[in-house]
Amino acid sequence: MTKVAFLGLGAIGRPMAQRVADAGFDLTVWNRTAEKARAFAATATARAAATPAEAARGVEVVVICLSTSQHVESLLDGPDGLLAGLARGALLVDCTSGDPATSRRIATRLAARDVAYIDAPVSGGTSGAERGILTVMVGGDAAALDRARPVLQAFGKKIIHCGGVGAGDAVKAMNNAMLAIHVWSTGECLTALASMGVDPRVALDVVNASSGRSNTSENLFPERVLTRAFPRTFRLALLDKDIGIAAGVARDEKVPSPILQLAAELFRMAHAELGEEADHVEAVKMIEHLAGREIA
Ligand code: NDP
């Protein structure tokens, strides 16, 4: 069976790695906080490595899923770094929601060592990871994607080749920018309706049978806002990062993007106000705070 390493056992990385283990791959895991890797290896069929180099040694496919591309880049160098372990001919599959420029830099450094790289960010949340139905958006060589596909299929249902290295990151960032805008706009609309006395459940019932609907109105608001549950599955800090990448891509491409730039600013403020551990849907608490009332 293909030897695989999985680096980064965070909220989404852990269930993705679990799917890779359950699919029967010969799996080694590594995580910065070593206890998480040891706990994973204690229950799954996997070994815990002490360093990124040790995890990558002798492995054909290394999957990595960290918070940012900068974190991935920071793991390359040094005696314990990925470059010290990756063999010629290996493949690095970067599932981080990253930024295209850093991914291209990483790909160039790896190519000099005959190691292939694809950016392969995912969508579908922690529950999609647990069920193995993530969408995977890939940037890089079609041949490298073909090599990665059996591993990606362990956690991904729809695997889409978007273009060269960085294209997967860019599509992911734009997707999440749309998510952020949906969360914010739905929050403003429902707060205004609640303020004039319309029950937000009634309002959502209408919207979800009409043209304003989205995953945010159909699922996130009923399950997380109206219930006031706000479960912590995807950190606001990470959505702030994503929309910042999206706004940067639009600026680099010199595409007019006033909504993207404004939304990036709003999510930067919400992140600063609500902190590192807040969930992305908690951004609506900023609107509620400014309005002096809760939606529900
Ligand atoms: P978490 O914050 O839960 O986990 C982050 C992971 O990155 C942890 O394993 C953490 O290690 C590691 N890490 C952070 N900084 C460093 C560093 N400097 N060096 C080494 N490792 C580091 O994030 P998620 O798992 O939620 O997200 C991971 C990626 O997936 C992000 O890019 C995110 O945007 C994306 N994503 C997340 C989704 C979700 O629903 N959660 C959905 C789709 C994409 P440690 O345990 O030591 O802190």
Q: Give the Cα separation of 218 and 16 in Å (integer).
A: 25
Q: What tokens does 43 get? A: 């229950």
Return the pLDDT at 262: 98
Which pLDDT band, with edges at 50, 70 and 90, does 62 fall under?
very high
pLDDT > 90 in the chain, percent: 100
Q: What tokens does 178 get? A: 């749309």
* pLDDT over 90 (residue 181): yes
Active site residue 158: no
Does residue 245's CB lie within 6 angstroms of at least one atom of ligand 1?
no
Closest CA to 181 of 229, 225, 215: 215
pTM over 0.95: yes
* pLDDT over 90 (residue 117): yes
Does residue 33's CB lie within 6 angstroms of at least one atom of ligand 1?
yes
Does residue 176's CB lie within 6 angstroms of at least one atom of ligand 1?
no
Return the pLDDT at 5: 98
Average per-residue pLDDT for the chain? 98
Return the pLDDT at 266: 98
Which residue, judged by its Cα, is nearest atom 23 of ligand 1? 10
pLDDT > 70 in the chain, percent: 100
Catalytic residue, chosen from 3, 157, 172, 241, is: 172
Q: Are 183 and 281 in contact (CB under 8 A)?
A: yes
Give distance in angstroms: CA of 96 to centre of ligand 1: 8
Give distance in angstroms: CA of 225 to centre of ligand 1: 24
Q: Are 160 and 246 in contact (CB under 8 A)?
A: no
Return the pLDDT at 276: 98
Exposed (0-12), middle (13-18) or buried (19+): which is 118, by Cβ within 10 Å?
buried
Tokens 């372990």, located at residue:
85
Give distance in angstroms: CA of 237 to centre of ligand 1: 11
* pLDDT over 90 (residue 252): yes
CB proximity list for 54: less than 8 A, separation 6 or greater: 28, 30, 80, 85
Residue 100 CB coordination number (10 Å): 25
Q: Which amino acid is at 28?
A: T
Give distance in angstroms: CA of 254 to centre of ligand 1: 30
pLDDT by residue (tens digit) across 73-116?
999 999 999 999 999 999 999 999 999 999 999 999 999 999 99
* pLDDT over 90 (residue 1): no
3-state secondary structure the chain: CCEEEEECCCCCHHHHHHHHHHCCCEEEEECCCHHHHHHHHHHCCEEECCCHHHHHCCCCEEEECCCCHHHHHHCCCCCCCHHHHCCCCCEEEECCCCCHHHHHHHHHHHHCCCCEEEECCEECHHHHHHHCCEEEEEECCHHHHHHHHHHHHHHEEEEEEEECCCHHHHHHHHHHHHHHHHHHHHHHHHHHHHHCCCCHHHHHHHHCCCCCCCHHHHHHHHHHHCCCCCCCCCEHHHHHHHHHHHHHHHHHCCCCCHHHHHHHHHHHHHHHHHCCCCEHHHHHHHHHHHHCCCCC
Does residue 216's CB lie within 6 angstroms of at least one atom of ligand 1?
no
Does residue 31's CB lie within 6 angstroms of at least one atom of ligand 1?
yes
Distances (CA, A) of 186 to 194, 258, 293: 12, 18, 15
Mean pLDDT over 55-79 rounds to 98
Return the pLDDT at 128: 98
pLDDT by residue (tens digit) across 193-240?
999 999 999 999 999 999 999 999 999 999 999 999 999 999 999 999
- Give φ, ψ of 231 to 5 degrees: -65, 150
Mean pLDDT over 131-142 rounds to 98
Mean pLDDT over 264-274 rounds to 98
Does residue 126's CB lie within 6 angstroms of at least one atom of ligand 1?
yes
